[in-house]
């Protein structure tokens, strides 16, 4: 197979399965949806975990620390398998689809990493800010949400951006459960065309475009936040 043949086949596959039959476009949609759910839920839960880990309650700190260490110390694919089988057993009142189970697994994985990123960002804020806020009569909750967290986010935005990019790439693991994202689409197209290399390259280019675009958008957001500081 020559380079010219590969490029020709890549274009034909892209035209037929992205523009024509929308198979690749559907895979992109599922990938972005899965990433968005994991990012939003991971950021919210990660923020709560970070705040909880700094609380005065030792039992709460122990539970959160154990959760974070387990999630960071085990493979993401293993976590998705566990979520795939355990989540339906927990949410017995609802019919959990494979997509929903994988979304829960990715969200928990993201939350563990985001919590450490946010905790380090909060720790980097000058303690004098907290002392000044308390001296003005602000509650701990108001101090954290109105003063500490906004400053911490400015410091950790690059790390959060990297985590979001990582989540997009980790959605490829969801193909194990055939949930419809890009790598699942690759398996379908490969089964139809038996043309492996061009299909893989098309999928790789699409992943790169998504992650590259997100990186640039995060860079713009970071510059705006610094300019407004």
Query: Phi, psi (5° rounding) for residue 96?
Result: -90, 120
pLDDT in tens, 93-105: 778 889 999 999 9
Q: Which domain holds residue 65?
A: 3-227
Residue 214 has pLDDT above 80, yes or no: yes
Residue 77 has pLDDT above 90, yes or no: yes
- For position 228, what pLDDT does the model report? 60
CA neighbours closer than 13 Å in the CB half-sphere of residue 36: 8
Encoded tokens for 184: 């699942």
What pLDDT, on the 0 to 100 scale, is given for residue 154?
Answer: 76
- In CATH, what number is assigned to the domain containing residue 22? 1.10.3720.10
Closest CA to 222 of 124, 156, 163: 156
Higher pLDDT pick, 61 / 133: 61
Q: How many percent of the chain have pLDDT more than 90?
A: 38
Is the pLDDT confidence value at 156 over 90?
no
> For 5-50, how does the pLDDT look when each residue is reduced to its tens digit (9 = 90+)?
988 898 999 888 887 788 888 999 999 999 999 988 998 999 889 8
pLDDT of residue 227: 67
Q: Give SS3 for 138.
A: coil
Residues 198 and 9: beta-carbon distance below 8 Å: yes
Give the pLDDT confidence score for residue 96 in this predicted structure.
85
**Residue burial 94-121, b: 16+ Cβ < 10 Å; e: rest:** eebebbbbbbbbbbbbbbbbbbbbbbeb
Give me the number of domains the chain comprises.
1
Q: What percent of the chain lies above the pLDDT cut of 70?
A: 97
Q: Round the CA-based radius of gyration of the chain to a whole number and report it.
A: 21
| Average pLDDT across the chain, whole number | 86
Token code pair at residue 104 = 């829960």
First-last CA distance in the chain: 55
User: Mean pLDDT across the stretch 182-189?
Assistant: 91
Residue 55: its pLDDT value, please?
A: 80
Highest mean pLDDT among 135-149, 181-195, 210-224: 181-195
């Amino acid at each position: 197979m020559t380079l010219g043949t590969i490029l020709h086949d890549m274009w034909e596959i892209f035209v037929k399965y992205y523009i024509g039959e929308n198979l690749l476009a559907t895979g992109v949609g599922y990938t972005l949806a899965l990433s968005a759910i994991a990012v939003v839920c991971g950021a919210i839960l990660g923020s709560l975990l970070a705040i909880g880990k700094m609380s005065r309650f030792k039992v709460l700190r122990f539970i959160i620390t154990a959760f974070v260490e387990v999630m960071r110390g085990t493979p993401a694919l293993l976590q998705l398998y566990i979520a795939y089988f355990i989540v339906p057993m927990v949410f017995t009142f609802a019919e959990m689809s494979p997509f929903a189970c994988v979304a829960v697994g990715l969200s928990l994985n993201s939350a563990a990493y985001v919590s450490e990123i946010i905790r380090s960002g909060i720790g980097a804020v000058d303690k004098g800010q907290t002392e000044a806020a308390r001296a003005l009569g602000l509650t701990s909750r108001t101090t954290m949400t109105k003063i500490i967290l906004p400053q911490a986010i400015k410091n950790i935005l690059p790390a959060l951006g990297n985590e979001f990019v990582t989540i997009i790439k980790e959605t490829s693991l969801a193909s194990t459960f055939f949930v419809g994202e890009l790598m699942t689409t690759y398996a379908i197209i490969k089964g139809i065309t038996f043309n492996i290399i061009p299909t893989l390259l098309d999928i790789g280019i699409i992943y790169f475009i998504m992650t590259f675009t997100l990186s640039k958008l995060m860079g713009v957001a970071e510059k705006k936040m610094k300019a407004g500081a």
